[in-house]
Structure 1
Amino acid sequence: MSIDRRKFITSTAALGAAMSLPLPAWARGESLTHAKQGFGEVSGKKIALSVGDHHFGVGGRKGHAIAVNGSVPGPLLRLKEGQKVRIDVTNNLDEDTSIHWHGLLLPFQFDGVPGVSFPGIKPGETFTYEFPIRQNGTYWWHSHSGLQEQAGHYGPIIIESAEPDPRYDRDYVVLLSEFTPRHPHEIARLLKVGEHYFNNQMQTATEGDMSVKDRLMWGGMRMNPRDISDVTGSTYTFLINGHGPMDGLEYLFRPGERVRLRVINGSAMTFFNVRIPGVPMTVIAADGKDVAPVEVDEFQIGTAETYDVIVTPPAGSHALVAEAMDRSGMGVASLTSHKGHRATPPPLREPVTLTMADMGMGSMGGDHGGMDHGAMGHGSGADMAGMDHSSMDHSMRDTSKLPADVKVGPGLDMVSPMPMDRMDYPGLGLDNVGHRVLRYTDLKSKRMNPHRMPTRSLEIHLTGNMERYMWSFDGKKFSAVTDDPIRFAYDERVRVKLVNDTMMAHPIHLHGHFFELVNGAGMMNQPLKHTVIVQPGSTATFDLTADEPGDWAFHCHLLYHMHAGMMQTVTVRPFPAPEDAA
């Protein structure tokens, strides 16, 4: 069955009727206003998706896009735990395409990554994905071909639990993304020409409180303390459910209702800081998996992550804000009990400035992991005072401590001298905001994990040359390692340590699996995730049980980083016998 809710709620009368229904189990925010730019909904055991060229406009920017079933973003897939689904994807483009079902557990040949798990979908062809639904929660889908994801080829997935969920009365998707009329390959070319091309927030010679010595130090290292995001609000319009900040997107509620917001970061390149000023949020799920409830006022969501939160807003209109991490723009909607009332969003906050800790220079003090985040607030150069530029520059390029399998060459221009675990770090710019911000150390699995100690450890370095816009794992681009995958034995338990030798945060995603964050929660309560942000100059560790056989992509989910080489193949062998796999 295919349902287009945009056609269902198109008039004031229909909207009023919908609002009078008792405690609806589902209401999609984008359907309430400006339906032309929203997405439809498809469900059932057999689903048809059609990929084609499209024209899209928002916020005064208009240009070419790639639409699925005629909309950008593409339709919401509503599935149910325990069902089987067949999805026929028809390619009407003049180039190959694909769809990856992000976060779904399925046979690897249906994972949708050309060159890793299937050949892709040729122009004019239809490919059939067919698999059982083994989970519930909030997920999303997107192209894994070229740079099509940037052009609009993505959409949300909601998998309803086999059992009713009594925790909420109203249910909304909050799909965060960006739009630009620039062709994605042009963006990739310009980043290669100059990694600061889209950054309009570079510090001037007199701006801020950084000393001349510190400015010379940054310059000598060919680094910039405002190098937060590669592509910014100078090029992007930030979207919520396909709507720009001026569109007046509304999420309607009745006072007293518990509203579930399923927040999905479906962007190509943007970390978002999400908040509803004056309205606390209770986080109940991360990457589709339930966690013990934790109340916060703001959270950072990396590209490809999802968080489910429950809010009980008081009567009135409240701004739902998704501010880009570099603070070059924001997505805005209104959570309102009064149709047509638009909340006033807060102004953009001051731009974020990197610190010595973000350069992997280790401890500035003494809290968790050796980091004293309160003592090294962003926007200040005080923590650099007295540093010996020449010795620091040498230590940041000292490759002698790298593992032997890290390739030292032009693709590696920085080595974190003292990378520390920063699981307790809330995200760039959020360490001194004065209210409760979610940290990975707040997450605890709601279910008990099987107790299995890792039998092997693996260290993987996130590497890059920011000036040349080269990105890689262990100094090796994806094109150079396709015949040398990361190998796991089936059902092997491995502790993986990611070491970020760069000055940028990377959301690292493993296909086909969930891993357990080693975040201090205790092995039985380590939260399950499919994507983890590795902070600049830091480490992040997870425990993986490699129980999904096949070949899987493993990559940074910043689209242009993956495109430039920060990707690898993970292979899990051997395939279990049928009775073992049951």
Structure 2
Amino acid sequence: MTALSRRRFLRDAGLGAGALTVPWLPAWAQRVSGGIATPPPTVAGDTIALRVAHQMMMIDGKPSHAIGLNGTVPGPLIRLREGQTVRIAVTNDLDEETSIHWHGLLLPFQMDGVPGISFPGIPARSTFTYEFPLIQAGTYWYHSHSGLQEQMGHYGPIVVDPKGVDPVASDREHVVVLSDHSPLHPHMIFKKLKQQGGYFNYQKQTLAGLLAGRDQPVADRAMWGGMRMDPTDVSDVTGSTYTYLVNGHGPADNWTALFQPGERVRLRIVNASAMTNFNVRIPGLKLTIVQADGMNVRPVTVDEFQIAVAETYDVIVEPATADAYTIVAEAWDRSGMARATLAPRVGMVAAVPALRTRPLATMKDMGMGSMAGMDHGSMAGMDRAAPAADACPPEHAKMGHCTPAAGTQAGHDMAGMSHSMRDFANAPTLPKTPTVQTISPMPMDRTGEPPQGLADTGHKVLVYRDLIALDRNPDLRAPSRQMRIHLTGNMERYMWAFDGVKLNEVKAPIPFRLGERVRVTLVNDTMMAHPIHLHGHFFELVTGHGDHSPRKHTINVAPGGTATFDLTADAAGDWAFHCHMLYHMHAGMMQVVSVRPDPAAGAPA
């Protein structure tokens, strides 16, 4: 082989130091370097210092403005050990307030890091020291809860090692932080969403697509148009403005996780994005899920899983040969992907699959259950039955947190089907506000279904009901009461809320008695998925696994669907409760949960 041909071979194989073009990679994934295998910087110990500041970051060879921690985006990996007490001094070099919320960590509410709820925030040019014990192990993350700083890079991973033997055996591990980054300032993104909810949707249906049979039938599209909804509006902010990142690197940077053939490799995957759920797969390898939201689960092997905003999943892969594999994190609306490589050495690449066809919202996503074959002309909405008088405690009745009446389907009277979805005369549980644009007529539990767009992949996709806790749940009491909370919104005006009430309209927090056991059902009355996060607590998903129900801190509620969990209110204080889609939260989908001792039980108030 001549020197020239050898150089060309090395270049095309991705092994040469100057490799820039690989024929089988799409243009957006062509590398600007030979690969980056540098892991995130790590800080550890009982005393840690973090500095928040503006900086520039390089994404696919282009500079972009960001907010980072200790000079990096993501911020450094914070490595801790269960049982230790840590002090973290956070210095704010910004000209505005900042904060850090320790997502998923159980700690005193004064250390939770939410300005206006659990502490005053960290003023500009000042330092605040967090101090808390580590009473759990697992994969978690941290991020700003001030303004929209999280979108600009103010986030980072946390790993808490168990004090004993880790039940998850592995030979090597990598932290994989997924995120979305835009050259647009986040306040400009929000402004454009307020002006037009579908501003960033460049994948709308076309006449050509309808005629070719690629999109929904004209009759169905007319129905959607009558409700001023677009079935292609799966994600509010898309690849039209986002670059999707792995550990702060774009697809062309080719961030690489190294392995040796035969090793058990643990990937600690964190979704730190502002608005993007990712569908994760590694073509050629099976994925064994061993942890969800920091809690160990019985191993379940899949080909693909969706990680919603703010969730974490730990995955074991076992590459047997010295080949390269592509880590694919495809945006849920198929408008782009984050991409990395798993390989024995830097510079190797594998084929990057093309983006799949974008998903379209269905009748189920409208909350119409399996009624797709029915006459929709007369059923744009349904009568809603009033809740049973004894199903809702007095303190919740005024807020609409009610259990549906016995004998109705999800609280809906199937006898009447003549009312418009925009007619709320028969919806006593929700206020008549602009934030309640639609009501799901027949919401159904969708935790046993593949996430939106993944039902027809031809391979095994993780569903929430696949998750079974490795250890027995700590609280096996039956719930003493039930709550039903509606996730509501108005896409036209870009308003989001719980029960039709935005955060700035809330008169009082959602009350819980310390130590009580409550069953909460979230009802998604919108056509957008909502990853709902409760601070300071874990809850058990009601998915049929009894005393081994999976414990999570974030649950993604499918469009038109419901999700139910049992909660032990065991942490006194005021806690944020919100959708983790950043702009949904910013637009009002957030409330405060207040956990207080019960004076009637003789506990001090």
TM-score by length of 2: 0.84
Unmatched 5+ stretches in structure 1 = 1-31, 365-382
AA of the residue aligned to 1:201? Q
How do 1:64-463 and structure 2 match up within 5 A?
64-165=65-166, 167-207=169-209, 208-315=214-321, 316-364=323-371, 383=372, 387-389=375-377, 391-392=379-380, 394-400=419-425, 402-404=427-429, 406-449=430-473, 450-463=475-488
Unmatched 5+ stretches in structure 2 = 1-33, 382-418
Matched, 1:479 2:479: no
Matched, 1:470 2:495: yes
SS in 2 for 1:206: helix
Q: Tell me how far 1:437 sits from its aligned partner.
A: 0.5
Q: Tell me how far 1:447 sits from its aligned partner.
A: 0.8
In 1, are the aligned partners of 2:37 and 2:255 still within 8 Å (CA)? no
In 1, are the aligned partners of 2:205 and 2:215 still within 8 Å (CA)? no
- For the residues of structure 2 that align with 1:479 and 1:179, how far apart are their CA atoms? 28
Change in 2 beyond 3 A, CA 1:199/1:265: same
Per-residue deviation, residues 516-561 of structure 1 (Å, max 9, x unmatched): 0001112x01100000010001110000000011000000000000
SS in 1 for 2:224: helix
Could you tell which deviates more after superposition, 446-455 or 506-515?
446-455
AA of the residue aligned to 2:134? I
Per-residue deviation, residues 388-442 of structure 1 (Å, max 9, x unmatched): 33532644334355453x3221111100001011111121111111100000010
Partner of 1:5: none
Change in 2 beyond 3 A, CA 1:328/1:157: same
Q: Tell me how far 1:241 sits from its aligned partner.
A: 0.6
In 1, are the aligned partners of 2:324 and 2:344 still within 8 Å (CA)? yes
Q: Tell me how far 1:33 sits from its aligned partner.
A: 5.3
Q: Tell me how far 1:491 sits from its aligned partner.
A: 0.5
Q: Tell me how far 1:56 sits from its aligned partner.
A: 2.0
Partner of residue 523 from structure 2, selected from 467, 486, 499? 499
Change in 2 beyond 3 A, CA 1:124/1:222: same
Q: Tell me how far 1:164 sits from its aligned partner.
A: 2.9
Partner of 1:562: 585
SS in 1 for 2:173: strand
**Larger Rg over CA atoms:** 2
Per-residue deviation, residues 310-350 of structure 1 (Å, max 9, x unmatched): 11012211111000000000011111123321122111100
In 2, are the aligned partners of 1:512 and 1:552 still within 8 Å (CA)? yes
Partner of 2:391: none
Q: Tell me how far 1:209 sits from its aligned partner.
A: 4.4
AA of the residue aligned to 1:479? N
Change in 2 beyond 3 A, CA 1:360/1:183: same
SS in 1 for 2:504: helix
- For the residues of structure 2 that align with 1:150 and 1:426, how far apart are their CA atoms? 27
In 2, are the aligned partners of 1:550 and 1:575 still within 8 Å (CA)? no
Percent identity of equivalent pairs? 60
Q: Tell me how far 1:452 sits from its aligned partner.
A: 0.5
Per-residue deviation, residues 180-210 of structure 1 (Å, max 9, x unmatched): 1110000000000001111110001231242
SS in 2 for 1:292: strand
- For the residues of structure 1 that align with 2:130 and 2:110, how far apart are their CA atoms? 9
Q: Tell me how far 1:61 sits from its aligned partner.
A: 5.0
- For the residues of structure 2 that align with 1:43 and 1:401, how far apart are their CA atoms? 56
- For the residues of structure 2 that align with 1:254 and 1:177, how far apart are their CA atoms? 27
- For the residues of structure 2 that align with 1:64 and 1:455, how far apart are their CA atoms? 50
- For the residues of structure 1 that align with 2:561 and 2:592, how far apart are their CA atoms? 23
- For the residues of structure 2 that align with 1:159 and 1:223, how far apart are their CA atoms? 43
Could you tell which deviates more after superposition, 342-351 or 538-547?
342-351
Per-residue deviation, residues 102-138 of structure 1 (Å, max 9, x unmatched): 0000000000000110010001110010000000000
Q: CA RMSD in A?
A: 1.8
AA of the residue aligned to 1:66? I
Partner of 2:6: none
In 2, are the aligned partners of 1:61 and 1:180 still within 8 Å (CA)? no
- For the residues of structure 2 that align with 1:389 and 1:96, how far apart are their CA atoms? 51
Number of aligned pairs? 524
- For the residues of structure 1 that align with 2:449 and 2:470, how far apart are their CA atoms? 22
- For the residues of structure 2 that align with 1:61 and 1:403, how far apart are their CA atoms? 53
In 1, are the aligned partners of 2:37 and 2:346 still within 8 Å (CA)? no
- For the residues of structure 2 that align with 1:215 and 1:545, how far apart are their CA atoms? 44
Could you tell which deviates more after superposition, 198-207 or 58-67?
58-67
- For the residues of structure 1 that align with 2:136 and 2:162, how far apart are their CA atoms? 8
SS in 1 for 2:266: strand
SS in 2 for 1:349: coil
In 1, are the aligned partners of 2:263 and 2:320 still within 8 Å (CA)? no
SS in 2 for 1:235: coil
Partner of residue 516 from structure 1, selected from 537, 540, 549? 540
TM-score by length of 1: 0.88
SS in 1 for 2:67: strand
- For the residues of structure 2 that align with 1:293 and 1:534, how far apart are their CA atoms? 23
- For the residues of structure 2 that align with 1:351 and 1:362, how far apart are their CA atoms? 21
